[in-house]
A and B are shown apart, each in its own frame.
Chain A
Amino acid sequence: MINFQFSRARDVADAILLLTGHPGAKLIAGGTNLIDLMKENVEQPSRLIDISRLPLRTIEETADGGLRVGALVPNSGLAYDPLIEQRYPLLASAILAGASAQLRNMASVGGNLMQRTRCAYFYDTATPCNKRTRSSGCSAIDGLNRNHAILGASNSCIATNPSDMSVALAALDALVHIAGPSGERTMALTDFHRLPGETPDIDTNLEADEIITAVELPPRGFASNYSYLKIRDRLSYAFALVSVAAVLELEGNAISEARVALGGVAHKPWRSAEAEMALRGQAATVEHFSRFADSLLQEAKARSHNGFKIELARRAIVRTLMQAASATPQSQAHKKIA
Chain B
Amino acid sequence: MADAANQVPDRIPINLIVNGNRRTLDVVPWTTLLDALRDHLALTGTKKGCDHGQCGACTVLVDGRRINSCLTLAVMKDGAEITTIEGFARDGALHPLQQAFIDHDAFQCGYCTPGQICSAAGLLAEGHAGDADEIRELMSGNLCRCGAYPNIVAAIQQAMSRP
Q: Do any CB atoms of chain A lie under 8 A from CB atoms of chain B in the complex?
A: yes
Which of the residues B9, B75, B141 comes within 8 Å of A237, measured between beta carbons?
A: B141
Which of the residues A4, A30, A235, A237 comes within 8 Å of B30, measured between beta carbons?
A: A4
Contacts of A38 in B (CB 8 A): 30
Contacts of A334 in B (CB 8 A): 133
Task: Please tell me if the beta carbons of B66 and A5 are within 8 angstroms of each other in the complex.
Answer: no
Task: Please tell me if the beta carbons of A100 and B9 are within 8 angstroms of each other in the complex.
Answer: no
Contact with A along B121-141 (1 / 0, CB 8 A): 011001010010110111111
Contact with B along A1-41 (1 / 0, CB 8 A): 10111100000000000000000000010111001101110
Beyond A6-B75, A102-B56, A102-B66, is A333–B5 a contact (Cβ under 8 Å)? no
Contacts of B9 in A (CB 8 A): 3-6
Contacts of A35 in B (CB 8 A): 32, 71-73
Smallest distance from the beta carbon of A40 to chain B beta carbons, Å?
8
Task: Please tell me if the beta carbons of A6 and B141 are within 8 angstroms of each other in the complex.
Answer: no
Question: In the complex, which of the residues A3, A30, A102 has the most CB atoms of chain B within 10 Å of its own CB atom?
Answer: A102
Task: Please tell me if the beta carbons of B29 and A31 are within 8 angstroms of each other in the complex.
Answer: no
Enumerate A191-231 residues with CB–CB distance to B below 8 Å: none
Contact with B along A82-102 (1 / 0, CB 8 A): 000000000000000001111
Contacts of A28 in B (CB 8 A): 73, 76
The chain B residue with its CB closest to the CB of A34 is: B71
Task: Please tell me if the beta carbons of A6 and B29 are within 8 angstroms of each other in the complex.
Answer: yes
Beyond A3-B7, A31-B76, is A102–B133 a contact (Cβ under 8 Å)? no
Task: Please tell me if the beta carbons of A102 and B119 are within 8 angstroms of each other in the complex.
Answer: yes
Question: In the complex, which of the residues B51, B53, B66, B73 has the most CB atoms of chain A within 10 Å of its own CB atom?
Answer: B53
Which of the residues B53, B76, B133 comes within 8 Å of A32, measured between beta carbons?
A: B53
Smallest distance from the beta carbon of A51 to chain B beta carbons, Å?
10
Which of the residues B29, B51, B75, B139 comes within 8 Å of A39, measured between beta carbons?
A: B51
Q: How far is the CA of A102 from the CA of B119 in the complex (A)?
A: 8
Smallest distance from the beta carbon of A74 to chain B beta carbons, Å?
8
Enumerate B19-34 residues with CB–CB distance to A below 8 Å: 29-30, 32
Q: How far is the CA of A237 from the CA of B73 in the complex (A)?
A: 23
The verdict on A52 contacting chain B, using a C-beta distance below 8 Å, is yes
Which of the residues B51, B71, B75 comes within 8 Å of A106, measured between beta carbons?
A: B71
The verdict on A272 contacting chain B, using a C-beta distance below 8 Å, is no
The chain A residue with its CB closest to the CB of B141 is: A100
The verdict on B12 contacting chain A, using a C-beta distance below 8 Å, is yes
Smallest distance from the beta carbon of B38 to chain A beta carbons, Å?
16
Smallest distance from the beta carbon of A99 to chain B beta carbons, Å?
7
- With an 8 Å Cβ cutoff, the count of chain A residues facing the other chain is 33
Q: How far is the CA of A101 from the CA of B4 in the complex (A)?
A: 39
Contacts of A5 in B (CB 8 A): 9, 29
Beyond A6-B75, A32-B71, A52-B76, is A102–B52 a contact (Cβ under 8 Å)? no
The verdict on A236 contacting chain B, using a C-beta distance below 8 Å, is yes
Task: Please tell me if the beta carbons of A101 and B126 are within 8 angstroms of each other in the complex.
Answer: yes
Smallest distance from the beta carbon of A235 to chain B beta carbons, Å?
8
Question: In the complex, which of the residues B7, B12, B75, B137 has the most CB atoms of chain A within 10 Å of its own CB atom?
Answer: B137
Enumerate B66-88 residues with CB–CB distance to A below 8 Å: 66-68, 71-73, 75-76
Contacts of A333 in B (CB 8 A): 131, 133-134, 136-138
The verdict on B8 contacting chain A, using a C-beta distance below 8 Å, is yes
Smallest distance from the beta carbon of B156 to chain A beta carbons, Å?
13
The chain B residue with its CB closest to the CB of A336 is: B133
Task: Please tell me if the beta carbons of B128 and A102 are within 8 angstroms of each other in the complex.
Answer: no
The chain B residue with its CB closest to the CB of A79 is: B128
Q: How far is the CA of A122 from the CA of B139 in the complex (A)?
A: 29
Q: How far is the CA of A5 from the CA of B75 in the complex (A)?
A: 12
The verdict on A103 contacting chain B, using a C-beta distance below 8 Å, is yes
Task: Please tell me if the beta carbons of B52 and A39 are within 8 angstroms of each other in the complex.
Answer: yes
Smallest distance from the beta carbon of B24 to chain A beta carbons, Å?
18
Enumerate A290-309 residues with CB–CB distance to B below 8 Å: none
Task: Please tell me if the beta carbons of A31 and B73 are within 8 angstroms of each other in the complex.
Answer: yes
Contacts of A1 in B (CB 8 A): 30
Contacts of A335 in B (CB 8 A): 133
23 A–B contacts, CB within 8 A, in A order: A3-B9, A5-B9, A28-B76, A31-B71, A31-B73, A31-B76, A32-B68, A50-B75, A52-B76, A100-B56, A100-B142, A101-B66, A101-B123, A101-B138, A102-B56, A102-B141, A103-B53, A103-B68, A106-B68, A236-B140, A332-B137, A333-B136, A335-B133
Residue positions of B touching A, CB distance < 8 A: 4-9, 12, 29-30, 32, 51-53, 56, 59, 65-68, 71-73, 75-76, 119, 122-123, 126, 128, 131, 133-134, 136-142
User: Which 3 residue pairs across A and B have the least CB separation, nearest first?
Assistant: A100-B141, A6-B29, A236-B140
